[in-house]
Chain A
Amino acid sequence: MGVQLKFHNVTLGYDRHPAVHHLTGEVAAGALVAVIGPNGAGKSTLFRGVAGILKPLSGSIDLGGLDIRDIAYLPQSVDIDRSFPISVFDFVGTGLWRSIGFFGGMGKSVRDKITRALAAVGLNGFEGRSIGTLSGGQMQRLLFARVLLQDARLIVLDEPFNAIDTKTSADLLALVKRWHGEGRTVLAALHDMELVRDHFPETLLLARGPVAWGATAEVLTAENLMVALRMCEAFDESAAACSDDMPSQAA
């Protein structure tokens, strides 16, 4: 299997302060990777970098030739204006942007596709409702349906199972495994260690710098988790410029 995603000594951050520091490594095509780490460890920042919303402060992210439209990114706190008058059907339909774009028509086959995606996340019957009427869990199902329609090679999910009930997260996890089975590359930021152990073969433990990256059983050791927890969260306002040739901590 080829390499889907390559981090070349990437540093991502805000106002020159690193939130992800000197990350180097590869994600194989078709891999199912859990990204774990304490709050503030840089998981979301890393994903924003992968999705192309945040430019690296230094280093580079090699997407293996993927166009940004080949990446489906599900952010954590979604900036969705839920008061906007748009129906569930139309909203999910925006996931088809890549194939229908500005003017593409929505013929019967396209409409069927949207209906099937809604059914796959258990939202049949919700087509005509406006998105403002959905609950938190239903909204998350809706966003998964959109990711489904995006039909992307690389799927990046930022804490997708936060604040939703067991039934919903089980349904959505099944969807994640289906994507894995279809050979798509999936990255997911998670906090539930049980879930990671049971369902994710590969794990990246992040604490600003990478602490460990590899097979889940080898990464999730008590020692590694302690190292991650000791990570200092606050930016040091008087920090000196980082010399770029400093070796990565995980190397």
Chain B
Amino acid sequence: MLYDALIAPFTEFEFMRRALAAVIALALGAAPIGVFLMLRRMSLVGDAMAHAILPGAAIGFLVSGLNLFAMTTGGLIAGFTVALLAGLVARNTELKEDASLATFYLVSLALGVTIVSIKGTNIDLLHVLFGNILAMDDQTLLVIAFNATITLVVMAIIYRPLVIECVDPVFLRTVSHAGAPAHLAFLALVVINLVNAFHALGTLLGVGLMILPAGIARFWSRDITGMICIAVASAILSGYVGMVLSFQTKIPSGPAIILVAAVLYVVSLLFGPVSGLVRQMFPGRHLEA
């Protein structure tokens, strides 16, 4: 019975196995990025970037229909353009990154909606907005795995400067010139992973696999390594349970995955050992020293 519900779908159907592989690859790349977004107080930046990708994907879609490479390339170009422009404005003027990013992503989003509404059909639009992880071909899976690999390699390279820039940016500026390149590389990874997630979950929900696991991890660990591990694990778990749920019911896969993550989030918020609500209400007696 339990086997039928939890394991059988994956042994019986190839598309489920493919989807599971995709969600694991996505989680490995997106969750660490999400942790850093959260620690840099940039969670909403991820959300904004997700909107910025839409016009690129839309143009790709208009040029060649539901074509994997056209839409990926379009999304990457749009995302990079917005990230780069916002980053340049923030580093060279008084305007902070959030404000400049908001400006550019709104322009991008307006363009995207305009493009889609001029030529697209509704069904295709739904696919762009929400994706469908259960209808994934081999090519898409390979692209996702490739992007996740790149993400992990680049993260390993920029990990130290990135951590130092989060804690003490002035210090990094006085000992190294790696701060700005590391920051730009990180923004590039955000874009790559959003484009990645958009194949599976769509442009709107793709960012969910970054942000929710990071939020969950914050309630379980005080240590950045621990946070990253927990974030990846909870992203994979959400993906797996979400897919099973979607398979057994009529819930679309994207929302199912994000809703499972939301349930994990609420549980963590209540029972997490680090500033969870229950722990705060019953903290135990204060210590001797």
Contact = CB atoms under 8 A, between A and B. Distances in A.
B39 A97 contact: no
Interface in A17-53: 51-53
Contacts of B223: 85, 87
The interface size bin for chain A is 20 to 34
A146 B171 CA distance: 10
B174 A71 contact: yes
Contact of A84 (B166, B175, B221): B166
A97 B175 contact: yes
Interface stretch (A75-83, A110-118, A227-235, A243-251): A75-83
A69 B167 contact: no
Nearest to B158: A102
Interface in A130-150: 130-131, 146, 150
B50 interface: no
A102 B174 CA distance: 15
Interface string B157-172: 1001101101111110
A149 to B, nearest CB: 11
A86 B163 contact: yes
Contact of A80 (B163, B167, B178): B167
Interface in B178-232: 178, 221-224, 227
A68 interface: yes
Most buried by A among B157, B163, B170: B170
A79 B168 contact: yes
Contacts of B157: 102
B249 interface: no
State which size class the interface on B falls in: 20 to 34
A84 B167 contact: yes
A68 B179 CA distance: 14
Nearest to B218: A85
A94 B174 contact: no
A84 B39 contact: yes
Nearest to A156: B174
B176 A97 contact: yes
Contacts of B171: 94, 146
A84 B168 CA distance: 10
A131 B223 CA distance: 11
Interface string A91-116: 10010011001110000000000000
B184 to A, nearest CB: 16
Interface of B: 39, 157, 160-161, 163-164, 166-171, 173-176, 178, 221-224, 227
11 contacts: A53-B173, A69-B175, A73-B170, A80-B168, A81-B168, A86-B163, A94-B164, A94-B168, A97-B160, A98-B175, A146-B171
Given A52-B174, A69-B176, A130-B222, 13 more contacts: A52-B173, A53-B174, A68-B174, A69-B175, A79-B168, A81-B168, A84-B167, A85-B39, A85-B223, A85-B227, A86-B167, A94-B168, A97-B160
